[in-house]
Structure 1
């Protein structure tokens, strides 16, 4: 399995706009993508960052995810809201 973790730090005051878009992206990924097995959205206690834990069948399934219309729309919609984003890739062992 292919694991992707992402941490988003929205600009101050943007979390209320960012979070519903993130949750919709996660929901649609799970519903519409057979290669997406898990998509957890975690909000930090201070509400300043969002951590994602995503699990895909393989790298090709993740590559398909980033090409979906719902992901592309999400990515454009949040581009100006996000101060920092970090992505890490792992293999589930």
Structure 2
């Protein structure tokens, strides 16, 4: 089963595509541009359509999705944690 999808191998976050992801669960992800699979252990419950961190992120770093920045990290995010608007903010404003 595929639990998350990332479009570009350089992505640092990926979209959860199933319901019911729970902390402690091993997640399988598909790297679309390379047609390969990766695993991450969920550190938190993550809702469908939200993102899982694929690596640790420090405050001030950029979160990468689709191979481009989607925002700046405003609170530390560990690999496997829920990455969303509570810890990533747009760089547009």
Shorter-chain TM-score: which interval? under 0.3
Is the helix fraction higher in 1 or 2?
A: 1
Which one has a bigger Cα radius of gyration? 1
TM-score between both structures, scaled by the size of structure 2: 0.26
Query: What TM-score does the superposition give when structure 1 sets the normalisation length?
Result: 0.26
**Quick one: higher RCO (CA 8 Å, sep 6+), 1 or 2?**
1
